[in-house]
């Protein structure tokens, strides 16, 4: 009597092989899962393809070839997610009732709920699972997953999430994961902005930056994040782990989310001003530790691309108060008593 052939392993879909998606997909592959992958830029998929993953030409093909009917997405923002799911040859075209999409991107809670509703109309389930931690944590399986969705859907996603996250926390229904992620990033991004400002002040006061960093890391201002950014701050080199433009996107989402529930996110909005100056100065694709650059440039109350002359007046002397009115666009970037209306989400 012949023994039945072993069942082929179920294939998981993965779309979005950027700085986070690529190492996460690799963790899934290394854990023994068969993958079918797609990325807008194919070259980023090559290492995974060389390791045995299958390539799909479009998101729709991922849905067709993912026999598990489980697909992960890791994309820049809600616009990219919308395109991947509902655009031409989008994933939603090939997934049917009972399929599950797990989105790891940082988007707004309202955007997560809207996507879940649109997929739900086709019987497709959705879980939002944005991540705490960065590229290194993704490589090492040490991420923190903030998960929103139904009990059943989260239970289905959990073992896969556990292959790249040290902690998988089901925080509530769809949208709760992205809500928790925004709360998390309010703290992490404003922390880096505040650290940049602290180092700018240290420089203005004539202190050695490296020594100041060393002392700050031994004092009450210590954080693991500061420790991770130590070399970037010391050397003023910012190879991207978490791009400044994505941190700026998160601050905009935070401001909009706060506004939608009548809460104040003034500190986040001020940090956003600093990051915007960094983007204008060309640091958008660098790590968000590059917030140090506009912070250093601010000491002379000039834009970052307009370096101060050598005979700069003593930066310790307070500048005269500008004659700004609330929301006055002529007011300097760090001299705005009223921050004016929030920019909307991207």
Ligand X SMILES: NC(=O)c1ccc[n+]([C@@H]2O[C@H](COP(=O)([O-])OP(=O)(O)OC[C@H]3O[C@@H](n4cnc5c(N)ncnc54)[C@H](OP(=O)(O)O)[C@@H]3O)[C@@H](O)[C@H]2O)c1
Q: How far is the CB of 84 from ligand X (least distance, A)?
A: 5
Burial class (CB in 10 A: 0-12, 13-18, 19+), 97: exposed
Measured at the alpha carbon of residue 164, what is the angle toward residues 159 and 167, in degrees to the nearest 5?
75
CB atoms within 10 A of CB 180: 22
Residues 129 and 106: beta-carbon distance below 8 Å: no
Site for ligand X in 87-146 (CB under 6 A): 105-106, 130-131, 134-135
Q: How far is the CB of 143 from ligand X (least distance, A)?
A: 8
Q: How far is the CB of 104 from ligand X (least distance, A)?
A: 6
Distances (CA, A) of 198 to 151, 172, 233, 299: 44, 37, 11, 11
* 83 touches ligand X (CB under 6 A): yes
Measured at the alpha carbon of residue 344, what is the angle toward residues 343 and 346, in degrees to the nearest 5?
110
Per the rule left: phi > 0, alpha: psi between -120 and 50, beta: everything else, 36 is: beta
* 21 touches ligand X (CB under 6 A): yes
The tokens describing 206, both together, are 């004539």
Of 20, 95, 100, 194, the residue at the interface with ligand X (CB under 6 A) is 20
Site for ligand X in 244-263 (CB under 6 A): 246
Residue nearer to ligand X on the CB measure, 287 or 336: 287
* 39 touches ligand X (CB under 6 A): yes
Q: How far is the CB of 249 from ligand X (least distance, A)?
A: 6
Q: How far is the CB of 196 from ligand X (least distance, A)?
A: 17
In whole angstroms, give the CA distance from residue 271 to residue 334. Answer: 10
The tokens describing 17, both together, are 């092989």
Residues 131 and 20: beta-carbon distance below 8 Å: yes
Which residue is nearest to ligand X, using beta carbons?
18
Residue nearer to ligand X on the CB measure, 105 or 336: 105
* 75 touches ligand X (CB under 6 A): yes
Helix (H, G, I), strand (E, B) or coil at 279: helix
* 84 touches ligand X (CB under 6 A): yes
The tokens describing 83, both together, are 């395109």
Of 34, 178, 241, 336, the residue at the interface with ligand X (CB under 6 A) is 241
Residue nearer to ligand X on the CB measure, 181 or 298: 181
Of 80, 157, 189, 251, the residue at the interface with ligand X (CB under 6 A) is 80
* 53 touches ligand X (CB under 6 A): no
In whole angstroms, give the CA distance from residue 333 to residue 321. Answer: 13
Q: Which residues bind ligand X (CB under 6 A)?
A: 16-21, 39-41, 44, 74-77, 80, 83-84, 105-106, 130-131, 134-135, 241-242, 246
């Amino acid at each position: 009597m012949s023994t039945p052939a072993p069942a082929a392993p179920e294939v998981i879909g993965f779309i979005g092989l950027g700085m986070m998606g690529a190492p996460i997909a690799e963790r899934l592959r290394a854990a023994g899962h068969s993958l079918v992958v797609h990325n807008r830029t194919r070259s980023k998929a090559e290492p995974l393809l060389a390791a045995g993953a299958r390539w799909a030409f479009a998101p729709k093909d991922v849905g067709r070839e993912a026999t598990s009917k489980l697909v992960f997405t890791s994309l820049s923002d809600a616009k990219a997610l919308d395109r991947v799911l509902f655009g031409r040859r989008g994933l939603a075209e090939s997934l049917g009732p009972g399929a599950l999409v797990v989105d790891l991107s940082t988007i707004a809670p309202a955007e997560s709920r809207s996507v879940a509703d649109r997929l739900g109309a086709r019987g497709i389930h959705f879980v939002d699972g944005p991540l705490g931690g960065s590229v290194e944590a993704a490589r090492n399986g040490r991420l923190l997953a903030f998960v929103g969705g139904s009990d059943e859907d989260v239970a289905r996603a959990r073992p896969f999430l556990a292959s790249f996250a040290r902690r998988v926390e089901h925080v509530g229904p769809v949208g709760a994961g992205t809500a928790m992620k925004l709360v998390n990033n309010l703290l992490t991004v404003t922390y880096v902005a505040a650290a940049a400002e602290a180092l700018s002040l240290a420089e203005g006061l004539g202190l050695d930056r490296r020594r100041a960093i060393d002392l700050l890391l031994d004092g009450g201002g210590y954080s693991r994040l500061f420790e991770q950014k130590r070399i970037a701050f010391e050397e003023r080199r910012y190879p991207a782990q978490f791009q400044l433009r994505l941190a700026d996107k998160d601050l905009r989402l935070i401001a909009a989310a706060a506004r939608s529930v009548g809460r104040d996110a003034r500190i986040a909005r001020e940090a956003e001003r600093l990051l915007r100056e960094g983007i204008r100065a060309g640091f958008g694709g660098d790590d968000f530790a590059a917030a140090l650059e506009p912070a250093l440039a601010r000491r002379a109350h000039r834009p970052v691309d307009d370096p101060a002359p050598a005979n700069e007046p003593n930066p310790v002397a307070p500048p005269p108060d500008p004659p700004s009115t609330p929301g006055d666009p002529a007011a300097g970037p760090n001299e705005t008593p009223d921050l004016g209306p929030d920019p909307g989400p991207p």
